[in-house]
Structure 1
């Protein structure tokens, strides 16, 4: 990107060095929203930008080709096809991106609240674009919550993960309390009401992790790891005397190697590697 293009699109930005590879300043979008923009131009034609809104930093990478600009990277959910378009000016691109940020302010607030008060085990380091959270709620029991970023106050998709004995009371409460979800109520408190919890369990400190038997993320019984390619164990043997955890990929590969296993549509069924009772899992996209 040529230096002149920055000046043409944003004459209010101030160069921070003699080479004009870094800029800083404020821009106003649609005469409503003011953003602080820091442009870093280390390698042409890419421009890395930082926009500041609602007390948060948003990172984007802009690519320029044939005097057209497009987002090569952004850290918010893809809520509009407008984020994929090419634009004739930086101003058009920034206007589209910043309008999306404003539309997502409630979403950011809710996800920040969840990350603060809940023990989030997946993703391990949530990004602003991640609208799924897996949260510990009990002994070897977690819930996977998938939100709609544009309708963050509505009831999200909730999946219970854990042993049947552990999940059953939470699932029963969830079914009984579904009608109690209130879009005008705090999202975290809504979730607690759904599963009849007074509060979410907190992640133990490093010193307590080795001794904490009530709340922990179990390792996979096949690979003996907690994380496999950033995935946590999400299959559990339903035998109450076993209740071993497995990564879907690990369990699928194990069952596929056993001649007595059977596949039916998108499921594979066979013997638990630990207790030999019947176990099944979905066939992953591998």
Structure 2
């Protein structure tokens, strides 16, 4: 057994024990208690075998009175100075360095008829530790692994259950069958990560199409915008809105759906403009520039990025829904519905109006979407507002 020279932890000071353990033993986590004691737990490789352990040091950095719990099969076995050969002058660093030599070898499992699969998930995790390329995090139970803050895709993340590699969460649109793709094509942790990065690269055009819209249009829905959303609603002109949806992020233009939302006459006219313009779609231009060409605009209504403007929207009573008297619902929806009467002050959420109509005798229901007359002036309400409801 080798005695560590210089007892480096004493030189560092107690406050650096967490950093020392994290750097030298990535599978372990150290936590100093207010009483001065130290608790270290996690997984550690001992002569090629990964073992889960918990170490309690009541008199850190000295080992006097230490308690070491090592998982063996389904139970933890406790080791102290009574049943573990520890030298009197050892400190924490010495114990960890010599743990593989002083711990009894784990009992071999004999009840398995088939050989155990090769490889170890914790070895794979250590091999994929690349802090310059992404952030890798694991929960305290060591059953959930998260990749995030990728160098080229900082807003994306991937969460997997370990060791099963079952998909738990991700940052891609729900219409992307990532779970199915991982099940079919990824047998190891490295393959799962490579596949996720490959999918992100293939989805770059999808996110690029929305980048200019997010930056140069006043996107009202969804709010807040995330990498999971595949649609945008933004003003086309006063009381008229455009909803852009990409059904298949791998085939953006082919699966693009455009819906014009607003008063009946405005919608009818702009639908003809849109139909004619789609025939002249320029594949060399992005979605934002093509939409400007179609509607013969220099720009769409621009957003005000100041924090004061966002607060003004919330506080402005004129912008609030005339039914629920709230501006933005919990799901991010804002009041966009108005009637065909330009002088009417109606402004409400599509969901609120639908609920309102279900209580009226003259309301019409078609395909689970309710329509009727304006509750204020009794003018007609365009059915185009149904596009604001969840598809």
Q: TM-score, normalised by structure 2?
A: 0.58
2 CA distance for matches of 1:198 and 1:84? 44
After TM superposition, give the deviation of residue 114 of structure 1 in Å: 2.0
1:247 to 334, 346, 349: 349
> What residue number does 2:224 align with?
125
Segment drifting more, 256-265 vs 96-105: 256-265
> What residue number does 2:176 align with?
79
After TM superposition, give the deviation of residue 181 of structure 1 in Å: 0.7
1 CA distance for matches of 2:372 and 2:167? 47
2 CA distance for matches of 1:39 and 1:47? 7
2 CA distance for matches of 1:180 and 1:172? 13
2:190 to 86, 91, 94: 91
1:223 to 324, 328, 340: 324
After TM superposition, give the deviation of residue 206 of structure 1 in Å: 5.9
Which residues in structure 2 correspond to 1:49-198 (within 5 Å)?
49-50=147-148, 52-54=150-152, 56-64=154-162, 67-77=163-173, 78-81=175-178, 82-83=180-181, 85=183, 88-147=187-246, 148-154=248-254, 156-198=256-298
After TM superposition, give the deviation of residue 233 of structure 1 in Å: 3.2
Aligned: 1:9 with 2:124 = yes
In the alignment, structure 1 segments of 5+ residues that lack a partner are: 14-22, 27-35
2 CA distance for matches of 1:68 and 1:131? 29
1:202 to 302, 311, 335: 302
> What residue number does 1:16 align with?
none
Contact 1:165 1:240 in 2 (8 A): no
> What residue number does 1:40 align with?
137
Over the aligned positions, Cα root-mean-square deviation in angstroms equals: 3.3
1 CA distance for matches of 2:266 and 2:311? 21
The structure richer in strand per residue is 1
Q: 1:197 to 1:106 in 2, by over 3 A?
A: same
Q: 1:39 to 1:267 in 2, by over 3 A?
A: closer
- Secondary structure of 1:68's aligned partner: coil
1 CA distance for matches of 2:324 and 2:341? 20
Q: Any idea what the Cα deviations from partners look like across 1:255-282, whole Å, max 9, x if unmatched?
A: 2222333434534343321112344765
1 CA distance for matches of 2:327 and 2:220? 10
2 CA distance for matches of 1:211 and 1:37? 38
Contact 1:70 1:93 in 2 (8 A): no
After TM superposition, give the deviation of residue 154 of structure 1 in Å: 4.5
Question: Does 1 or 2 have the higher relative contact order (CA < 8 Å, sep 6+)?
Answer: 1
